Structure formats: structure tokens, C-alpha cells
């Protein structure tokens, strides 16, 4: 990506053109949430100014326009991730998407949904497999599902670098496995997991595959059908869209057989005083008034990214990730987490400075206008396995520059100088 093109992209993000604590803002916290370009903000504002109405109800013109825009957005997002329109369920975020899925399995285990949902029932003796890398949003829902159904939760461990230890995969994902849930890209390490290996083993034992795609969909070309996963979840706010919108992807034949989680208006065909019949997917999972403007804005974000080109974005971020990793590894006193410098990663690099708490690192950097993430990044088990309680994470995106990475690296070196050597 040329300097001229990157400058044009950055001009779309007004938030980047400001000073923080007397320094130009260096925003390296896109793994937590991305900034929003004016094109996305304009689309959402235009919806409220010209077309605001409830969708899938009402016979007036505004209702028809709003419904058309809402469903067009679904089609756009479906194309962006290699899915069909009826395989995209709107949620408020990825956390809700994963909980929706877990509760649908739970409801099926209670006998809800009849014979069509029998394939999703879990009982004692069944197993749910997750990895030691997981964000809490892809761990706790499965902990709760195991507790409700009597299933056993099993773990794919990580090695000392945080990489998945796959040598004993056949003894972990066994014929008892019903669900295998794992992250595509670690939100802490930036490492890219071998989806094909995990899917192949899951298919061999007949387990459903659930992919946490929060850190992959915004940063690389994704085709869920080609990846051969059954379900996936991602959030809009990490890919230039507003907060309040996320997606559950599910293969259509599975979604249509699953019982709903939330119930109420908009997801039914008929209701009597005794029972209700539900619409097919995706509407059966979209009870109540929907997040219309956010869905439309998510589609605008997908169009914005597509216009740049996801392959080019991935290449740009990989270069920034390598610069981050190599620069951190070269600073005495810094422990780079995850893959060694020079190994494939997205634009994420987390690190620990022994004796200096991540909150102190983050505060020192913030005093210089540098925004990073500190803490356990909603991944306490992974940090515990790595022998630390917290870390500092820098995460780049399409609008990030090499110059910003260099300012950050200089700030890290100055942090160590300021606090002095620690044991």
C-alpha cells in the first residue's frame, strides 16, 4: 500500500487527526475496537435522516425502504464472508452470537425444537472442546452449556509460546466430542490457527465446528463455506462499523433445525395462547425490533474494506505486525508473546516487561498520545499459562502506519528507561 493511498485512507478517519496529551494520536488499539470512516458514519446518519422506520412490519413507504436496506445489508455482509443471505443472523456483537448458539444447543438438549433439533442435544458423556487461547466470549458460554447439560469441557493446550499443541489432537477431539470451538486468530498473540487441521479432525468424529472470527474477518479475506465451519461469530465494531452489531453465521440447514434463543415478536409465523410457530432462519433468531442502522453501517464498512481489497489489507497489516514483533523483540527487557519475530501473524503484538505492570506501560504510552490495550484482554487462562497476569497489546489496522509503529517502539524503550531496570 503506497504512502499516498494510506494518506487518503487516513483522511477518512477524522478521529486520527488530533492530539492527545500534546502528541499526535497513535491509535494502536484496533484489536479492541476500530475507528470509523466518514463513509460509514454518513450511511448511518442518512438512514436516520431519510429512512428511519421499523423493518418487517408496516405497509408504508419508509417501512419498505428500511426493510429493503436492512436485507440488502444482510446480502452484502453474506458476500463479504462467503455465505448465503439466510446464513447471516444479526446480533448485538460476537459475544451475543456465541451465547445465542450455546443456548440453542441448551434448548435442544431440553427437548425444545422437536425431532429436528435432536442432533444438537448434549448429555452426560458428550464433550465440548475449546482451546487454551480463547477469549472469554468463546469459553464461558461453553462452560455454562456443559454445566447445564452434564457434558464435559475439554481443552486443546498451548505450548510455552502460546501456540496450539496439536500433537495429541486425536486424544482430545474424540468420538465423544459434540462441539469444537476455537479462535481463528488469537486476540492476544496475533497468531493464525490451522483451521483446516481442526476442521478435519472435527469432521472425522462428527463434531460441530464453531469459529471465533472476530480477529480474522476484519483483517483478511474470509470464506466461511470454504473454511467448512458450521458456525462462526464476528463483531462489526472491530471492522469499521458501529458498536451494537454482530453476526452469527451458521449453515442454513443447521440454523433451520435449531430452536431459538430469544423469543417474541418478528420471529414467529403464528401464535396462540398455548404455543408459537417460528419462522425459518435467520428471522427465528432475530426477535424484537432490530438494530437496523447498525446493520446498514456494517454493510457500508464491508464495502469500504472490499474497495481497498482484503488481500491488500492483510498484506499491509502483516508487514506492520512483523515490524511490531521484530521491534519489540529487539528491546532489552521486553518479552514478546506468541510467535517468534518473523513468524506469520496479523497486525497484533503483545508483550510483557518484567517488573513493570502493563497498566503503568499503558499510562506512560498514553502520556505520549499512544493508545494500546493493557490487562488480560479477556483471556485470563492464556495469560496464566504464559506465567503472567497481564500484558500490553498493540494492534494495527488498515489506517495504521510504519511511522506510528516506530513511535510506539520508541515509547516502549523509553518506558523501560523511565521505570529503570526491573527483575
Q: What angle do CA 240, 294, 309 make, to 5 degrees?
A: 35
CA–CA distance, 165 with 156 (Å, rounded to integer): 7
- 378 catalytically annotated: yes
State how far the Cα of 197 lies from the Cα of 370, in Å rounded to an integer. 38
Under the phi-then-psi rule, with left for phi > 0, alpha for psi from -120 to 50, and beta for the rest, what region is 369? Answer: left
The answer to whether 338 and 350 have CB atoms below 8 angstroms apart is yes
Tell me which of 222, 337, 378, 407 is the catalytic residue.
378
Provide the phi-psi class of 126: left if phi over 0, else alpha when psi is between -120 and 50, else beta. beta
| Cβ within 8 Å of residue 319, ≥6 positions away | 402
Would you state the cell numbers that stand for residue 204, as one nine-digit string? 472425522
Among 165, 157, 190, 158, which residue's Cα sits nearest to residue 336?
Answer: 190
- Residue 176: other Cβ atoms inside 10 A: 15
Distances (CA, A) of 299 to 9, 101, 351: 18, 23, 34
Residues contacting residue 213 through CB under 8 Å, at least 6 positions apart: 81, 184, 222, 224, 232, 233, 234, 249
Whole-angstrom distance, CA of residue 285 vs CA of residue 385:
36
CB 348 within 8 A of CB 395: yes
Sheet strands (E) in 225-344: 231-235, 246-250, 268-271, 276-278, 334-336
Residues with a catalytic annotation lie at 378
Amino acid at each position: 500500500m503506497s504512502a499516498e493511498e494510506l494518506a487518503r485512507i487516513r483522511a477518512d478517519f477524522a478521529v486520527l487527526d488530533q492530539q492527545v496529551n500534546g502528541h499526535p494520536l497513535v491509535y494502536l488499539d484496533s484489536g479492541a475496537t476500530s475507528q470509523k470512516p466518514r463513509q460509514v458514519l454518513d450511511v448511518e446518519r442518512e438512514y436516520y435522516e431519510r429512512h428511519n422506520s421499523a423493518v418487517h412490519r408496516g405497509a408504508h413507504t419508509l417501512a419498505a425502504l428500511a426493510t429493503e436496506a436492512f436485507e440488502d445489508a444482510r446480502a452484502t455482509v453474506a458476500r463479504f464472508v462467503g455465505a448465503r443471505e439466510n446464513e447471516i443472523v444479526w446480533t448485538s456483537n460476537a459475544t451475543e452470537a456465541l451465547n445465542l448458539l450455546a443456548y440453542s444447543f441448551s434448548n435442544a438438549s431440553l427437548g425444545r425444537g422437536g425431532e429436528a433439533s435432536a442432533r444438537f442435544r448434549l448429555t452426560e458423556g458428550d464433550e465440548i472442546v475449546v482451546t487454551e487461547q480463547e477469549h472469554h466470549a468463546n469459553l464461558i458460554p461453553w462452560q455454562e452449556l456443559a454445566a447445564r447439560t452434564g457434558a464435559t469441557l475439554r481443552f486443546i493446550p498451548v505450548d510455552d509460546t502460546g501456540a496450539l499443541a496439536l500433537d495429541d489432537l486425536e486424544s482430545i477431539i474424540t468420538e465423544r466430542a459434540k462441539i469444537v470451538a476455537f479462535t481463528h486468530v488469537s486476540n492476544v498473540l496475533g497468531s493464525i490457527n490451522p483451521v483446516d487441521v481442526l476442521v478435519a479432525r472435527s469432521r472425522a468424529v462428527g463434531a460441530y465446528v464453531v469459529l471465533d472470527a472476530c480477529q480474522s474477518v476484519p483483517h483478511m479475506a474470509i470464506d466461511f463455506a470454504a473454511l467448512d465451519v458450521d458456525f462462526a461469530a464476528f463483531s462489526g465494531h472491530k471492522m469499521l462499523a458501529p458498536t451494537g452489531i454482530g453476526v452469527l453465521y451458521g449453515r442454513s440447514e443447521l440454523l433451520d433445525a435449531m430452536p431459538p434463543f430469544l423469543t417474541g415478536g418478528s420471529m414467529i409465523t403464528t401464535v396462540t395462547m398455548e404455543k408459537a410457530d417460528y419462522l425459518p432462519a435467520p428471522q427465528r433468531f432475530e426477535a424484537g425490533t432490530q438494530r437496523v442502522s447498525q446493520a446498514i453501517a456494517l454493510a457500508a464498512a464491508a464495502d469500504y474494506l472490499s474497495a481497498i481489497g482484503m488481500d491488500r489489507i492483510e498484506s499491509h497489516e502483516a508487514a506492520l505486525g512483523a515490524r511490531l514483533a521484530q521491534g519489540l523483540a529487539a528491546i532489552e527487557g521486553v518479552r514478546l508473546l506468541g510467535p517468534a519475530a518473523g513468524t506469520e501473524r496479523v497486525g497484533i503484538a503483545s508483550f510483557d516487561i518484567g517488573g513493570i505492570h502493563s497498566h503503568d506501560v499503558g499510562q506512560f504510552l498514553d502520556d505520549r498520545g499512544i493508545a494500546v490495550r493493557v490487562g488480560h484482554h479477556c483471556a485470563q487462562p492464556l495469560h496464566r499459562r504464559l506465567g503472567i497476569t497481564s500484558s500490553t497489546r498493540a494492534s494495527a489496522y488498515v489506517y495504521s502506519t510504519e511511522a506510528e509503529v516506530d513511535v510506539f517502539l520508541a515509547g516502549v524503550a523509553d518506558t523501560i528507561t523511565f521505570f529503570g531496570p526491573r527483575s
